[in-house]
Amino acid sequence: MNTMLRTYIYRSLSEPVVQQLLARNTDPSNAVQQSVTAIIAEVKAKGDAALKAYAQQFDGVQLEQLSLGAEEIAALAASIGREQQRALEIAFANIHRFHATQLRKERTVETMPGVTCWREPRPIEKVGLYIPGGSAVLPSTLLMLGVPARIAGCKEIVVCSPPQSDGKINGYVAYCLQLLNIDNVYLVGGAQAVAAMAFGTESIPKVDKLFGPGNQYVTKAKSVLQGMTQVSIDMPAGPSEVLVIADSSANPEYVAADLLAQTEHGPDSQAILVSTDQSLIDAVQDALATQLAELPRAAIAAKALDNSYAILCETTDEAIAFSNRYAPEHLIIEMDEWEPLVRKVSNAGSVFVGHLTPESAGDYASGTNHTLPTSGYARSYSGVSVDSFIKKITFQHITQEGLQNIGHTVEVLAELEGLHAHKNAVSVRLT
Amino acid sequence: MNTMLRTYIYRSLSEPVVQQLLARNTDPSNAVQQSVTAIIAEVKAKGDAALKAYAQQFDGVQLEQLSLGAEEIAALAASIGREQQRALEIAFANIHRFHATQLRKERTVETMPGVTCWREPRPIEKVGLYIPGGSAVLPSTLLMLGVPARIAGCKEIVVCSPPQSDGKINGYVAYCLQLLNIDNVYLVGGAQAVAAMAFGTESIPKVDKLFGPGNQYVTKAKSVLQGMTQVSIDMPAGPSEVLVIADSSANPEYVAADLLAQTEHGPDSQAILVSTDQSLIDAVQDALATQLAELPRAAIAAKALDNSYAILCETTDEAIAFSNRYAPEHLIIEMDEWEPLVRKVSNAGSVFVGHLTPESAGDYASGTNHTLPTSGYARSYSGVSVDSFIKKITFQHITQEGLQNIGHTVEVLAELEGLHAHKNAVSVRLT
């Protein structure tokens, strides 16, 4: 079982090799594309009936009803331990505290005397949250999507999660639904769930925007649906990844633990160590071997280590330069002198600074969102925030004075673009 | 030549009819899809050579070089009239004044003692702006995309615009390039332009995000490229549209002029009048006939009027309810009592309130952006703003005290999700 990270010397890397190191799989196989397309067509054509058939086929459950209501959710929520309830409450509170600062009134601007412009936020009315289930149980993802949706003020929050073998949902997820005051959940998983929310079915409402992580089928379905319907999506998603920048001040046990936390997600996860200190890299290799041996998911983590690597740099500027080119979903800077590096980070989803800031804190409870751009999309996408659940609508009002000030300019510009009716809309008001 | 708007009585409309009225063409024909796919493949395979071949084929120009530099831009810019320069300067100043308020520092949040979280904006480093040309000349679009890109601080702003018959670009566009301090423009149009910026060619840099309107080929190419590469796009684009809400206080001449300003864009544009006053609708019909007769682009406008319609409502609440379902790109509220309606607008791209606020003011010079969601996408998309050119990266730092406060919660949550390496990343730091 592999416990070692391949190591490269940064300055010895040719550009083609760097390109290979930067690349990660973002394009699921055509087989995925085909079965997803078939599922989408089936859901569009048959609605609820298709969803029940897929529940039988994929989840091995015969569903009488496709949803659970407030009473059933309450019963499931009551079944979990008090310690777990308390932990979910603390995570909820921190996520709410951080995201609540993201919705702010903007100031009105008078661009010319009598010409007043402003923006006002409006919630996206209907949003669909996909919460993966089955083997992995992810109540944290429900909090990460539900809290900003509530703060934004979305009118309708539709939640889909695959049914467990008993035809219900996990109690931790149920408890989070209660924390979010969501009194309904749909027992649908996979590509069929996002298709159902994009088209709407007899029981599942059509939404304006789809959120949530998922396997490559869910991911592919989201991008296909974005192209064929009016639904928009939070972001394209790929396998999770972390890049750790560490120098001689770093604790190799901490670094190894952070790398392994990423690798246990799945065999296609990627964990990258960029360091200015060969002896730290060596110490991390030893720590990886020791810690990996004790992991329940060691087999998965070992596979992920095969996709992973370490890079030895001469300077921290080289390290940050590589990180910015890679644009990691998660960036951990384990250095005493992390502060000067903050402003140099140009591409990353979420950044963890200092020796005592593990990624897992942000994955669960520190308050930041864990729905983040992967596969290099951090170059152009932000992670999920309240912004993801609102539109900003521009408004403007022009007075008589304002029209006198701006009218001629508009007429000249409309004229030079050859749009005479645009010009006339001002002219009729000036006369 | 049609000069009349079909008129419907809101309360007499069945839901299926409403659905038809809300629907607009968002799905270009498969023929478009096929030729766009071919163009994309050709550009990816042959780069600059393909671009020069398409310039010959589509623009009828044999290009020696694919770009113009600072000197050539300066010469073209100097060729336009002073009045036009002045108008472009005023538009630039107003757009800059409004958009400059959109980039603001956010406050740091201590979610728990010792757990500090914050967001910092970072520019998207490489952006591609597509500026349509040829028949229509759109310097205003260059300002609407270039100004927020400059405010965001994008490092590389790549501009593509189709060559005119003389192998150059229009002088007004050149003058805007100067105002934006952009000293290079690529002479490429259509689907091949966005493909070139998505893949990069020998002369055109690869970008992280594509911006700009265009015909259905450009629009289709953007969505195809979004699916097949890592490039992201500003928004899906469809034909332009306006919805006017007017009551008995409205001036029918103004309303007609605003509707016609929309219809001159193209035969597939849509202009909708929603009113509580039948006599206003009648007066607008008369004004449409008179004003249309004097328009150079009357033929196009008349075609667009065939896709357009008027709706008579009993109350302004009905009017705003229909508007919110339609989610117009542009909404003009021509009423004395517009203020109570502002907070009721839930879906729109940009809103113009009062009798003296024509859409054309915002199209050119008031300061708001004219790159807006069409075809109902205003339900989930905002118009272009500085936000469109940045990412917001989350950062966090945890102290020893913070780790004591949050550590156990993270361990419990990682445990219940079965992610033991996530738990261990905290445990190693607690011991």
What is the tens place of the pLDDT at every residue in A306-355? 989 999 999 999 999 999 999 999 999 999 999 999 999 999 999 999 99
State residue A388's pLDDT score: 98
- B317 part of contact set with chain A, CB < 8 Å: no
| The model's pTM | 0.96
- Taking CA atoms, A393 is separated from A65, A123, A214, B349, B378, in Å, by 39, 10, 31, 6, 9
Cβ pair A417:B136 closer than 8 A: yes
Handedness of CA B375, B377, B381, B382 (dihedral sign): positive
**Residues of chain B where predicted confidence (pLDDT) is lower than 50:** none
- Tell the burial category of A289 from Cβ atoms under 10 Å away from its Cβ (0-12, 13-18, 19+): middle
Which residues in B180-258 belong to E strands, given as ranges?
A: 184-186, 209-211, 232-233, 241-246
What count of other Cβ atoms lies within 10 Å of the Cβ of residue A178? 17
Task: Tell me which of A125, A391, A423 to substitute to probe the interface with B (most B C-beta atoms closer than 10 Å).
Answer: A391
Q: Least CA distance to B113: which residue of chain A?
A: A366
Query: Which amino acid appears at position A39 of this protein?
Result: I
- B152 part of contact set with chain A, CB < 8 Å: no
Which candidate, B301, B2, B173, B238, places its Cα nearest to that of A419?
Answer: B301
Judged by phi (left if over 0) then psi (alpha if -120 to 50, else beta), residue A414 lies in alpha
Task: Tell me which of B131, B135, B398, B403 to substitute to probe the interface with A (most A C-beta atoms closer than 10 Å).
Answer: B398
Residue in B91, B97, B342 nearest the CB of A413: B91
Q: Residue B82: which H helix or E strand, with range?
A: helix B82-99
What count of other Cβ atoms lies within 10 Å of the Cβ of residue B283? 17
For chain A positions 41-80, those within 8 Å of chain B (CB to CB) are: none
Return phi, psi of residue A133, to 5°.
-150, -145
- A261 part of contact set with chain B, CB < 8 Å: yes
The reply, when asked if residue B363 is annotated as ligand binding, is: yes
The C-alpha atoms of residue B13 and residue B17 are separated, in whole angstroms, by: 6
Tokens of B306: 């065939």
Handedness of CA A358, A359, A364, A367 (dihedral sign): positive
- Chain A residues in contact with B102 by the CB 8 A cut-off are 106, 119
* pLDDT tens-digit series, residues B379-392: 999 999 999 999 99
Q: Least CA distance to B329: which residue of chain A?
A: A393
- B422 part of contact set with chain A, CB < 8 Å: yes
Contacts of A2 (CB under 8 A, 6+ apart): A302, A303, A305, A306
* pLDDT tens-digit series, residues A222-260: 999 998 889 999 998 888 999 999 999 999 999 999 999
CATH 3.40.50.1980-classified regions of chain B: 6-25+239-367, 31-235
Cβ pair A380:B232 closer than 8 A: yes
Q: Give me the percent of chain A exceeding a pLDDT of 70.
A: 98
Distance from CA of B426 to the nearest CA of A (A): 7
- Chain A residues in contact with B109 by the CB 8 A cut-off are 97-98, 101, 367
Helix-helix angle B216-228:B190-199, to 10 degrees: 20
Residue in B119, B349, B380 nearest the CB of A124: B380
Tokens of B63: 């290009």
State residue A25's pLDDT score: 66
b/e code B201-214 from CB counts within 10 Å (16+ = b): beebebbbbbbbbb
State residue B51's pLDDT score: 97
Class of domain A6-25+239-367: alpha beta
The C-alpha atoms of residue B35 and residue B338 are separated, in whole angstroms, by: 46
Tokens of A286: 């030893």
Distance from CA of B221 to the nearest CA of A (A): 12
- A208 part of contact set with chain B, CB < 8 Å: yes
The reply, when asked if residue B265 is annotated as ligand binding, is: yes
The C-alpha atoms of residue A244 and residue A288 are separated, in whole angstroms, by: 14
Tokens of A110: 């008078």
- Taking CA atoms, A328 is separated from A243, A323, A381, in Å, by 6, 7, 12
Which ipTM score applies to this complex?
0.96
Position of tokens 């606020």? Answer: B357
Rg (CA), chain A: 25
Residue in A353, A355, A397 nearest the CB of B357: A397
CA angle A141, A143, A146 (to 5 degrees): 105
Residue in B117, B208, B345 nearest the CB of A379: B208
Q: Which residues of A does the annotation mark as catalytic?
A: 329-330
Cβ pair B257:A410 closer than 8 A: no
Task: Tell me which of B381, B416, B427 to substitute to probe the interface with A (most A C-beta atoms closer than 10 Å).
Answer: B416
The C-alpha atoms of residue A359 and residue A260 are separated, in whole angstroms, by: 11
Helix-helix angle B400-416:A82-99, to 10 degrees: 120
Pairing assessment for the beta strands B115-123 and B390-398 based on DSSP bridges? antiparallel
Distance from CA of B179 to the nearest CA of A (A): 15
A155 vs B33 pLDDT, higher one: A155
- A242 part of contact set with chain B, CB < 8 Å: no
Q: Least CA distance to B417: which residue of chain A?
A: A137
State residue B89's pLDDT score: 98
pLDDT bin (cut points 50, 70, 90) of residue A129 is: very high
State residue A228's pLDDT score: 87
State residue A158's pLDDT score: 98
pLDDT bin (cut points 50, 70, 90) of residue A423 is: very high
Residue in A111, A349, A356 nearest the CB of B398: A356
Q: A31-235 has which CATH code?
A: 3.40.50.1980
Q: Which residues pair with B184 in a beta bridge?
A: B69
State residue B266's pLDDT score: 86
Residue in A346, A365, A418 nearest the CB of B410: A365
Instruction: Determine contact, residues A388/A110, Cβ cutoff 8 Å.
Output: no
- Chain A residues in contact with B388 by the CB 8 A cut-off are none
Residues A47-67: what's their mean pLDDT? 95
Which candidate, A205, A82, A213, A209, places its Cα nearest to that of A138?
Answer: A213
Q: Give me the percent of chain A exceeding a pLDDT of 90.
A: 87
The reply, when asked if residue A130 is annotated as ligand binding, is: yes
For chain B positions 402-421, those within 8 Å of chain A (CB to CB) are: 402-403, 406, 408-410, 412-414, 416-421
Task: Tell me which of B86, B98, B108 to substitute to probe the interface with A (most A C-beta atoms closer than 10 Å).
Answer: B98
- A132 part of contact set with chain B, CB < 8 Å: no
Instruction: Determine contact, residues B124/B154, Cβ cutoff 8 Å.
Output: yes
